A and B are shown apart, each in its own frame.
Chain A
Amino acid sequence: MINNLIVSGSPHIHKPESVARIMWTVVISLIPALIAGVIIFGANALWVTLAAVTAAVLTELILGLCTRKKVTVFDGTAVITGILLAFNLPSEVPLWLPIVGAVFSIAIGKAVFGGLGQNIFNPALVGRVFLMASWPKYMTTFTLPFNLDAVTSATPLAALKEGKVLEHISYLDLFLGKHGGCLGEVCILALLLGAALLFIKRYISWHIPFTYILTTGVFVYIFGGDKLFSGDWLFHILSGGLILGAFFMATDYVATPLTARGQLIFGVGCGLLTAVIRLWGGYPEGVSYAILMMNATTPFIDRYTKVRIYGTR
């Protein structure tokens, strides 16, 4: 009789959510953008993504077996890292590039810190920055959309940085992804569809993405034009990896602040850094560096935005 009475501490309500379930939902939410990438840049986009995912999963499996830890391959986190890494690559890269990047992401970005939940940086972005620093030639060669001859083109942001006049790129083209860029970041529509799923399931909150995008927009509006308050804020929001970064990479559970207040600070910081790098930095795009830099500040943000326990001072 006694054994049937199990008294445990609260909470008592059980929800069927688990890490694996959330992560696989995130994988599903990324599929529209992948389909868009394949439609825009052709089958290469699919091969790059598959290569990155396979390499990430295999690395996770092998490292898990070597270190005799719990096998965490099936919770989908390695799959997400692979997909996000591939989304940050141009579609015409040689296939060894996503493989090397994915191995680096999982091994150096995640496993050396102790695996899932311990990494201080977003693993996919660690991989991307590594590739960017190592093989800039491949990482900045983009192809024109709907072009099977693989004509290289600059991203709209890179063209802007070089001071070229941006002709015939309308906001609609930017929104639908008809321009050069990384394979997963171009189609804003598909990314927003995926993000909507995460919002409906309440897997991500509005704090980071909205403050991030808003801050970038406002900052660019103020300082981005020839005179103050004349910047093309809509162009900056719709181009580059801002939407992908804000919804899918800045909202990573592990490397971002826990409290709502902390997340607001995190979002504003990401937005400021992104805008500063885009307007005055050496690179045309700053999303990945902005998120990584703010990842580094997360422990401090967490410390200073600790929630006061009710009844204490």
Chain B
Amino acid sequence: MKNLIKEFTKGIIKENPTFVLALGLCPTLAVSVSVANAIGMGIAATFVLLGSSIIISLVRDFIPDRIRIPCYIVIIATFVTIAELCMKAYSPALDRSLGIYVPLIVVNCIVLGRAEAYACKNNLSRSFFDGLGMGVGFTLALILISAIREFLGSGQLLGHTLVKGFEPVFVFGMPSGALLVIGLLLGLFNLLKEKRT
């Protein structure tokens, strides 16, 4: 049990997909304009990660080694389709603001990376917690980035104005602002890692 908890927690800080592994930066840059988008994207990605990790670790012994990547993609794409259709059905506004980035989870390198690096080598329970941890880590990273960007870029958090008279820094709403925030946070994470060792 203790091992499983470790599998879960490593995705949040020690092997955080965004800040330590630096995977999945494309959706991170694109959807981190607002916290609402980030939460939606994070939940969708976590769902896909979890589902694909479970299925891949279950079928890992049947997949021929040479065609494993296409097989993974088919499994991942199935879950992405489920996530996308659910999002379209239950929250069309979120679907509209995330746009192409939901279908693009299929090629998200966190999902494929965990399938290739972890789920195909480990049993069901470990893969489950690994996928969950990575998903939560990705979601938290997205929320952190988008909170900074939304606050600086529009003076709001989740659509509520926090400080009156604050002049929004437009640049943080643009892609260049996303690169700035991610770069500085990556530096901060590296600094913390250095401090700890």
Q: Which residues of A contact B (CB under 8 A)?
A: 108, 112, 130, 133-136
Contact = CB atoms under 8 A, between A and B. Distances in A.
Contacts of A133: 170-171, 174, 176
Contacts of A134: 168-172
Contact of A135 (B170, B176, B184, B187): B170
Closest 3 CB pairs of A and B: A133-B171, A134-B171, A134-B169
Contact of B167 (A108, A112, A130, A135): A135
B180 interface: yes
B170 A136 contact: yes
A113 to B, nearest CB: 11
Query: At the interface, is chain A mostly helix, strand, loop or mixed?
Result: helix
Contacts, number: 18
Interface string B156-194: 000000000001111110101000100110010000000
Query: At the interface, is chain B mostly helix, strand, loop or mixed?
Result: helix
A130 B174 CA distance: 11
Interface residues of B, number: 12
Contacts of B180: 108
A54 to B, nearest CB: 20
A130 B177 CA distance: 10
Contacts of B183: 112
Contacts of B174: 133
Given A112-B183, A133-B176, A135-B167, 11 more contacts: A108-B180, A112-B184, A130-B171, A133-B170, A133-B171, A134-B168, A134-B169, A134-B170, A134-B171, A134-B172, A135-B170
A136 B168 CA distance: 11
A112 B183 CA distance: 10
Interface string B126-157: 00000000000000000000000000000000
Nearest to B167: A135
